Every structure is written in C-alpha cells, then in structure tokens.
C-alpha cells in the first residue's frame, strides 16, 4: 500500500467502508495514494466484522464512509472501523462523513424528541474519533455537537462554478427553499455575480416525515432563470413542488442544485418530470444507474475532500479552500 509521509514523522492513511467505493477510489487518486486494505464482511445475522490487513500503528487515519440507505448499517460499520483503528494504535483518526448521518434531527421541535445528530457525534467520539470532516451540514450548529475539531466543507464553489457556465447570458435569481438557508443563498448569489435572492414559503407537518408543501415565492422571479438550492434531496417532493411554484410565478427556467442526492423513492421519477432544466448534485452519496435520468448532472466531490484531507494532514488551512467562508 502506498502511504504519504511528512518529514519522516507523519504518515497519512486513507481507509474506507463499503458504502461508496467509487468515491474512496477517486479521493485516493487525487491524493496520489492507495486505500488501506481492509477485510470487512457481514455474519449471517447482520453482525459486521472489520479488520485492517496492514499495521496502522502511529499513523494518521482518514476513515471515509458514505451513508446511503440502509444508513444504520453503514454508520455501524464506520463506528466499528474507528474502534478497530483505535485499538490498533492509530495516532489520530479523522472520520470523513461527506453526508452526516441523522443531520436533520439537530434540534427538538417538540417535546420528547431526540437530538439524533448529537447522538451520532457522541458515538463517533466514544468509538475513538479525534476529528470529523463533513460536507454541507444540514445546519452549522452540528459542528458544536462534537467535542473536537470539525471541518465543515462546502460544495457551493463546485456547484456554482458549474451552473455559472449554464446561465452566463441569463438574468438569474438564487432561490432558497426556505428562510433557514438564506445565508447559503447569499454565498451562491455572490458566486453568480451578485444575483438577487428569493425564497419559497413552505409549510411542514412535523408529525409526518418527508411532508412539506411549497406555498408561494417571495422575491422577483418573473422572466428569470431561477437557481433553486438545497443541501439534500430525499424523496424530491418538496423541491419538485417548489419548481412548480416558481414556474407559476413566471420563472423562465429553473435549475436545481443540491449537495446530497439521497434520492429515496420516488425522487428520481419526480425530478425527471418536475420541469427543471437541470438537476445538479454531487457524489457524496452513491447514485445507482436506476436513479439517474437525462437532466441529472453529478459532480465529483473527491477533489474538495482530497484537498481538505491534505490540509488537515499538513496542518494547513481548510478555511482557505473556501475563500474564508468555512
């Protein structure tokens, strides 16, 4: 296995779970290294076994795991991998979770609800993680749940630079799906040349998962190309409804941009038929062929993750990767 050594003292090792091997290989290629050989399998009852095939003693481990469905299996595998690396005397363990598990459960909306995003942070710490790296957390407050450094990476530069080439001659409005993501929308507007902002007013039944209704748009969208942004697309119902609201308000065209393509059924069907010109996502989660469609564009998040891993390993600045927005 290739390793990256720094001044004869530090050794970077990239390890990965089984959830998204394509992303792991892409990151390893960007870093110019190879993945740590790992033996991982399931017992007949679903119990997970993990063991590194090589020594990790004294090494700086970056442990990648994506979290598609079934999320709980992949989270458990990652926790077991962290524990195995800790018991194998790794010097430092950085959990790389591009799509942070349970990120939507980051606060109590009603009495007797859990804060599951905090629980996940506690589990990472208990397993032996020293640091967490993730992309576009559902809310920035999740960074405070982990008692240690958290590198919050952003896909905005990647997504916005792609879309800028698609809307170069258009009058553009950046549309947030709700008021909670206006700050992110401002970053988008800056990258798209100072485009105006709008947001879609929606209502949500807190007793029903994946149930939100887009009501109306606030802002100037008539005759304009709207870039509708979000951190994730799950079943696609909310964002497809938002496209219709924008079209009804006179939008000339709509492009959807989101970081995490969860794509629970029937998301692919909804998005393919929602009327958006293009749906742009990253590969923080694997997207199987049966959930890909003509208007879908998938951008690689590997270069951003690789650069951040290199900065952390060399004690550099992760913030500098995002023009000071991190």
Contacts of 59 (CB under 8 A, 6+ apart): 3, 11, 12, 13, 90, 91
Q: Residue 281 is inside which H or E element, if any?
A: strand 278-282
Q: How far is CA 306 from CA 274, 312, 313, in A?
A: 34, 10, 11
Catalytic option among 10, 86, 202, 252: 202
202 flagged as catalytic = yes
Q: Say if CB 257 and CB 227 are below 8 A apart.
A: yes
156 burial via Cβ count (<10 Å: 0-12, 13-18, 19+): buried
124: Cα separation from own chain's centroid = 17
Q: Residue 185 is inside which H or E element, if any?
A: helix 182-191
25 burial via Cβ count (<10 Å: 0-12, 13-18, 19+): middle
Which contacts (CB < 8 Å, 24+ apart) does range 197-200 have? 197/173, 198/173, 198/174, 198/226, 199/175, 200/175, 200/176, 200/228, 200/242, 200/245, 200/246
Q: Which are the catalytic amino acids?
A: 202
């Amino acid at each position: 296995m290739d390793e990256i050594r720094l001044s004869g003292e530090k050794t970077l090792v990239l390890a990965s779970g089984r959830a998204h091997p394509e992303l792991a290989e892409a990151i390893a290629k960007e870093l110019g290294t190879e993945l740590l050989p790992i033996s991982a399998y399931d017992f007949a009852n679903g119990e997970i076994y993990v063991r590194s095939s090589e020594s990790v003693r004294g090494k700086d481990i970056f442990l990648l795991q994506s979290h598609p469905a079934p999320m709980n299996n992949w989270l458990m595998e990652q926790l077991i991998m962290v524990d195995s690396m800790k018991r194998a005397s790794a010097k430092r363990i950085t959990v790389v979770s591009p799509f942070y598990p349970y990120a939507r459960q980051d606060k109590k909306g009603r009495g007797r609800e859990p804060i599951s995003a905090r629980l996940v942070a506690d589990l990472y710490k208990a397993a032996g993680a020293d640091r967490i790296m993730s992309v576009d957390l559902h809310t920035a407050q999740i960074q405070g749940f982990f008692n240690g450094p958290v590198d919050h990476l952003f896909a905005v530069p990647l997504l916005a630079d792609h879309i800028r080439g698609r809307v170069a001659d258009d009058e553009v409005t950046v549309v947030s799906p709700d008021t909670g993501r206006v700050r992110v929308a401002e970053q988008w507007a800056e990258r798209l040349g100072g485009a105006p902002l709008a947001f879609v007013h929606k209502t949500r039944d807190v007793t029903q998962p994946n149930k939100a209704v887009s009501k109306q748009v606030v802002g100037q969208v008539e005759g304009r190309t709207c870039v509708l942004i979000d951190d994730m697309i799950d079943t696609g119902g909310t964002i497809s409804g938002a496209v219709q609201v924008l079209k009804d308000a006179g939008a000339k065209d709509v492009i959807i941009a989101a970081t995490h393509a969860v794509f629970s059924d029937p998301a692919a069907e909804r998005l393919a038929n929602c009327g958006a010109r293009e749906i742009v996502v990253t590969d923080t989660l694997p997207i199987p062929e049966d959930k890909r469609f003509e208007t879908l564009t998938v951008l690689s998040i590997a270069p951003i993750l690789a650069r951040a891993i290199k900065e952390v390993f060399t004690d550099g600045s992760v913030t500098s990767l995002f023009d000071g927005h991190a």
